[in-house]
Amino acid sequence: ALEQRILLEAVAAYTAVVRDQAVLDLALANERRLQEYLLAVKDRYRFGQVTRTDVAQAETRYAAAIAERQRAAGRLRASGASYRRVIGDPPGTLVMPPLPPELPADLGMALEAVDGHPEVRAARMDLERAEQGVSEARALLYPKLALSAELAYANDPDLDSGHQSEAAIGARLTIPLYQGGGARARIRQSRQRATAARFALEDARRRVREAVTEAFEALETARARVESLATRLAAARLALAGVREEARTGARTVLDVLDAEQELFEAQTARTDAERELVLSGYRLLAATGRLTARDLGLDVTVYDEEAYYWEVRSAWFGTDLPEAGMPEPVAGPREEE
């Protein structure tokens, strides 16, 4: 669960930087277009082709574009700081990653991974341990049989043989008749713990099923949203071109052109945000199914092998050094210049 949380946080930080850089580029382009349009409107005003109100409207939109560019730059700096905290290095030139491979094709396939989720496996192991505790508590009421054997050999010059040997075998049977109720209390306690562990396992299954369902539906929604926003973006580009052409003939006003420019910018930023949300939704689905791990993703990193670690330390009675299968050392990020 910790590995999945860290990897998902890394994906979120990475894609946020890509999105915010793209939005900043769009904001810069929008600012340049509105600046050029403002200059053109001022020229037309000097020739009496537009009114002072038209100039004021163009100035308003240009000022808003500057504010939007500043806001986008601030968001990029913030997401860059988050990226550096999670990844350890400052962001370079990044591109939006594709959807992760082998995503479940339908909800049924996604739900098949519920029993293999780390939280469900951990809850199942807790139940097995609790049931073992019941067996151990019941053993307090069982008879106990203890066997003993003894062999003695001694040299004795007073004996004809010169030595003496003795052998003895004994058995001791203990039958608990009354223990003051302590053993039965432990049995009841262990059974209650087993019942609680059984409910916890079922709760873990339900929570994972809920998370998988939500993640799958979010992915499907993100896919549909990207397609719809692609249609919106194409329509906004076509509309802007048409409004500009009509404005040259006097059929459209300055405000119409400014509205079309704003609609295009909003469509571009919405599409950029939706593309990021689509990729992030794919990785969230992997995390919900328990498959967002370095091993499953095939990352070229040192993978922590918990089973190998267990077998290396299970007989390590002395020393505190970590074996080779232990956790890798964290990577230190670059230091700030003094």
What tens digit of pLDDT does each residue of 285-299 get?
Answer: 999 998 888 888 888
139-143, 316-320, 328-332, range with greatest mean pLDDT: 139-143
Q: What is the pLDDT of residues 18-41, one digit of tens each?
A: 999 999 999 999 999 999 999 999
Q: What percent of the chain has pLDDT over 70?
A: 89
What confidence tier does 136 reach under pLDDT thresholds 50, 70, 90?
Answer: confident
* Cα dihedral: 268, 273, 277, 280 (round 10): 120
Comparing 50 with 321, the larger pLDDT belongs to 50
- Tell me what pLDDT residue 41 has: 94
**CA of 216: how far to CAs of 64, 236, 270, 287, in Å?**
38, 30, 21, 11
- Tell me what pLDDT residue 301 has: 78
What confidence tier does 323 reach under pLDDT thresholds 50, 70, 90?
Answer: low
Average pLDDT of 296-324? 71
- Tell me what pLDDT residue 75 has: 97
* pLDDT of 338 above 50: no
Q: What whole-number distance in Å separates Cα of residue 209 and Cα of residue 156?
A: 79
Residue 228 exposure: Cα atoms within 13 Å on the Cβ side: 10
Average pLDDT of 51-80? 96
Going by their DSSP bridges, the two strands 144-155 and 163-174 should be labelled as antiparallel
* pLDDT of 102 above 90: no
Q: Which amino acid is at 51?
A: T
What confidence tier does 337 reach under pLDDT thresholds 50, 70, 90?
Answer: very low
- pTM score: 0.79
DSSP, res 164 = E
- Tell me what pLDDT residue 256 has: 94
DSSP, res 99 = P
Average pLDDT of 86-106? 91
